[in-house]
Chain A
Amino acid sequence: MGAWWLLGPGLLWMGLLFVVPLSLVLVISFAERGTYGGIVWSFSLTNYLDLLHPLYAHILGQSILLAAVTTVLCLIMGFPLAYYIARAAPRRQGVLLLLVMIPFWTNFLVRTYAWMFILRTEGLLNTLLLKLGVITAPIELLYSNTAVVIGLVYGYLPFMVLPLYVALERVDRTLVEAAWDLYATRWAMLWRVIVPLARPGIMAGCLLVFIPSLGAFLTPDLLGGARSMMVGNLIQHEFLIARDWPLGAAISCLLMLFVMGMMRWSFHAASPGSRQEDAS
Chain B
Amino acid sequence: MKQTGGWLWRLSLANLVFLYGPIAVLILFSFNASRLSATWQGWTWQWYRALWVNQALLDATANSLWVATVSTVLALFLGVGIAVGLEGLPGRWQRQIEQAMLLPLVIPEVMMGVSLLLFFVLLHIPLSLMTVMIGHALFNVPVVVIIVRARLRKLDPRLLEVAADLGASYWDALRHVTIPLLRPAILGAGLMAFTISLDDFIVTYFTAGPGATTLPLKVYSMIKSGMSPEINALSALFVIVSMGLIGFSLLLQRR
Per-position binary interface string of chain A over residues 104-142, scored 1 when its CB falls under 8 Å from any chain B CB and 0 otherwise: 011111110111111010111011000000000000000
From A6, A78, A99, A217, contact of B202 by CB (8 A): A217
B11–A252 touching, CB < 8 Å: no
A83's contact among B8, B37, B235, by CB below 8 Å, is which?
A: B8
Among residues of B, the one whose C-beta sits closest to the C-beta of A23 is B115
Pairwise interchain contact A117-B38, C-beta atoms closer than 8 A: yes
- The reply to whether the CB of B42 lies closer than 8 angstroms to some CB of chain A is no
Bound: A160/B120 CA distance, A = 35
Q: Is B86 an interface residue (CB 8 A)?
A: yes
Enumerate A248-262 residues with CB–CB distance to B below 8 Å. 248-249, 252, 255-256, 259
Whether the Cβ atoms of A113 and B219 lie closer than 8 Å is yes
Which of A45-53, A54-62, A207-215, A269-277 contacts its partner? A207-215
A36 to chain B, nearest CB (A): 14
* Inter-chain contacts of A21 with B (CB < 8 A): 115-116, 118-119
Q: Which residue of A77, A87, A106, A117 contacts B18 across the interface (Cβ within 8 Å)?
A: A77
Instruction: Identify B78's interface contact among A9, A96, A239, CB under 8 A.
Output: A9
The answer to whether A259 and B108 touch across the interface, beta carbons within 8 angstroms, is yes
Contact (Cβ within 8 A) B115 A252: yes
Of B23-31, B150-158, B181-189, the segment with at least 4 beta carbons within 8 Å of chain A is B23-31
Known: A80-B11, A113-B26, A117-B29. A217 touches B116 (CB 8 A): no
Output the least CB separation between B47 and chain A (Å). Answer: 13
Give B182 Cβ to nearest chain A Cβ, in Å: 13
Across the interface, which residues of B come within 8 angstroms of A14, CB to CB?
Answer: 100-101, 104, 138, 141-142
The answer to whether B141 and A7 have CB atoms under 8 Å apart is no
Instruction: Tell me the complex Cα distance, A248–B4, Å.
Output: 50
Q: Is A103 in contact with B107, judged by CB distance below 8 angstroms?
A: no
What CA separation (Å) do A232 and B140 show in the bound complex? 22
Interface contact B8-A84, CB-CB below 8 Å: yes
Which residues on the B side are within 8 Å of A158 (C-beta)? 19
Pairwise interchain contact A211-B119, C-beta atoms closer than 8 A: no
**Which residues of B in the span 110-137 have a Cβ within 8 Å of any Cβ on A?**
110-112, 114-119, 122, 134-135, 137
Cβ contacts A to B, 21 pairs, < 8 Å: A4-B85, A7-B82, A7-B86, A9-B78, A21-B115, A25-B115, A78-B15, A81-B16, A83-B8, A85-B12, A106-B238, A106-B239, A106-B242, A107-B235, A109-B220, A110-B219, A110-B235, A117-B232, A127-B39, A215-B111, A252-B111
